[in-house]
Amino acid sequence: MTETGWPSYSPLARSGELARRAQLGREMMRACRVCPRECGVDRLAGELGVCRQGPEARLSSWNLHAWEEPPISGTRGSGTIFFSGCVGRCLFCQNWPISQLGHGQTVSAERLAEMMLELQGRGAHNINLVTATHFVPAVLAALDIAAQEGLCLPLVYNCGGYESVEVLRLLDGVVDVYLPDAKYADDAVARRLSGFTGYVAANRAALREMHRQVGDELVLDEDGIARRGLIVRHMVLPAGLAGTAEVLRWIAAELSPGVHVSLMAQYCPAYRAEDDPVLGRPITENEYLAALDAFDAAGLEQGWRQEYHGDPEDMFGLEVNSPSSCAKPGQNRA
C-alpha cells in the first residue's frame, strides 16, 4: 500500500508502468517463458505449451470465497478468481476439471477488469488470483484497466509456487499479498506426483523473490485483513511425500522464522490419486501431529493450522482455516 492508502498498483497504473509491464509480459509469450517450464512456444501465434492456454485469460469462476486464511477471507469474503489450466499436473488435484481439462471461459482484459470491479462492488476484501501463473500478462493488462476505473482492493497472488522470478519482478509493487505453496522438498517426488521439473529450486527462488518484495511482516488493516505480506502454504501428504520437515526447515532458515506458514491437513485423494497405493488415503492424525512438531522444530513463529478430523469431507467444512482453528496473525499457533 502507498502512503495515500491506495494499493501499490494504482500509481503504477496512472504512470503507465502497469501497461508497460503488461506489454513486457505479453512479449514473453512469443517464446513462452512465463513459468519455469520455459516451453518456448509462441502463444501469441496460437501455439500451446504444457499449460495448454493461449494468451488471453481463461477462468472458471469468480466469487466471494470464505475459506481462505482469516486475514484473506475476513468477514465478507475474498474476491476470488479461479483461472483455468495449470502449469502443474498434480495427480491428486481437487480442481482437475478446471486445472487439467481447462473447463472455463476465455475473457478479454476488459471483461476481467469488470469482474474485479464487480467483486469490489460486492464487498470483497481483496482480489484473489488463484493459479494465475500462466496468465500474468493478461492479469496485468486487466488490472491496468480496473485500477484506472477505481479498483482499490489489495491484490492477492495465490499460486502453486512454481513461478518465474522474471515474471515475479513484473509483479513487484503490484501484488500486495503473496500466497504461494511450498509443495515439495524433493524434485523426484515433485516430478512424479505433479509433473514439475526442477520444482524445488524454482519454488525456493520464487519464495525468496516474494519475500524480498513484501518482507516478513503481515500488515493488517483495522479489521484484521491482510494489506501486504507473504503467507506460505504447505499441504501435508501421506507417507511424508511432501517432505514437510525439510520444507518448513528451509523456510525458517533461509527466509525467516517470522514468515507466516499455513499448514494444511486437508489432503484428500482425488483425480488420479484415488486408486494409488500411497496417495489413495487421507493423511493420518499421527502424520499431521508430526507436521506440527516439525513446525515447532523448525522454529517457525507464525501461521495457521487446520483441525484434524480424520474425515477429509469434514475438514473441507467449517473448521478449515476457520478462526476457531487458527492462531491469530502475530501469535504463535501453539
In this chain, which of 134, 228, 234, 333 binds ligand SF4, going by CB under 6 A?
134
Part in contact with ligand SF4 (CB under 6 A); list of ranges 48-56, 104-112, 272-280, 321-329: 48-56
Part in contact with ligand SF4 (CB under 6 A); list of ranges 26-34, 215-223, 236-244, 246-254: 26-34
131 Cβ neighbours under 8 A, 6+ residues apart = 82, 83, 86, 99, 158, 159, 160
**Which of 236, 254, 238, 241 is CA-nearest to residue 294?**
236
- Measured from the CB atom, the residue of 30 and 281 that comes closer to ligand SF4 is 30
306-319 b/e (C-beta count within 10 Å ≥ 16 → b): bbbbeebeebeeeb
Sign of CA dihedral 235, 240, 241, 245: positive
- Measured from the CB of residue 51, what is the shortest distance to ligand SF4 in angstroms? 3
| Residue 26 engages ligand SF4 in binding (rule: CB under 6 A) | no
| Residue 37 engages ligand SF4 in binding (rule: CB under 6 A) | yes
> Which residues between 135 and 154 bind ligand SF4 (CB under 6 A)?
none
| Residue 35 engages ligand SF4 in binding (rule: CB under 6 A) | yes
Binding-site string for ligand SF4 from residue 60 to residue 99, where x marks contact by CB under 6 A and - marks none: ---------------------------x------------
| Residue 17 engages ligand SF4 in binding (rule: CB under 6 A) | no
| Residue 49 engages ligand SF4 in binding (rule: CB under 6 A) | yes
81 Cβ neighbours under 8 A, 6+ residues apart = 59, 61, 62, 112, 115, 116, 119, 127, 128, 129, 130, 132
Cell of residue 50, nine digits: 504444457
In this chain, which of 13, 32, 140, 255 binds ligand SF4, going by CB under 6 A?
32
241 Cβ neighbours under 8 A, 6+ residues apart = 184, 189, 193, 278, 279
Give contact residues for ligand SF4 (rule: CB under 6 A). Answer: 32-35, 37-39, 41, 43, 49-51, 87, 134
